[in-house]
Amino acid sequence: MTTPDSSTAQLADLFFRLGKRIRHRSAEHLAPVGLTPAQARALRVISHSDRPLRIVALAARLDIVPRSATAVVDALEELGLVARGPDPDDRRSVLVALTPAGTELLQQLRDTRRQAAEDLFLALSPADRAELTRLLVALHDATDPTTC
């Protein structure tokens, strides 16, 4: 017999295992282009900004310390995917923006990510996908955004 506590524990276990599987697949898709998941996420965050970002702002959006964001930007800059530039409003700060190569790679990654998601959710019927989406949105909206 399944008790509420055991069903909650089972649900949590399934979420963590599925999350691990998704992260593993993501890392496999990124390996051929030489990126880590953290670097790919930083590219996505930078691309969603309407203007170049300060390292501190990037760190806040990634929920990491500025020193770690600097290391991620260093690696992306070495790959030619981002460029640093002066901040006209604060000469002590540096702005980070995607390069054309970064924009192109990000589009390839989006295509790969979309295909990976399609492969993952292929096991579900359209109705099941819609229901899962509804449930995940409800869960997302009910949780504290500062913890994710």
pLDDT-based confidence at 148, cuts 50/70/90? Answer: very low
CA pair distance 44, 83, nearest whole angstrom: 15
For 52-80, how does the pLDDT look when each residue is reduced to its tens digit (9 = 90+)?
Answer: 999 999 999 999 999 999 999 999 999 99
pTM given for the model: 0.76
For 2-43, how does the pLDDT look when each residue is reduced to its tens digit (9 = 90+)?
Answer: 566 788 899 999 989 988 988 888 888 888 888 998 999 999
Structural domain contains residue 10: no
Structural domain contains residue 2: no
Question: In the chain, how many domains are there?
Answer: 1
Return the CATH number at 24: 1.10.10.10
Structural domain contains residue 5: no
For residue 129, give Cα distances in angstroms to 14, 59, 60, 113, 125.
17, 33, 32, 17, 6
Range of the domain at 114: 19-147
Structural domain contains residue 78: yes
Residue 67, pLDDT score: 96
Q: Is the dihedral of CA 74, 78, 82, 86 positive or negative?
A: positive
Q: What does the radius of gyration of the chain's CA atoms come to, in whole angstroms?
A: 19
Structural domain contains residue 54: yes
Residue 69, pLDDT score: 96
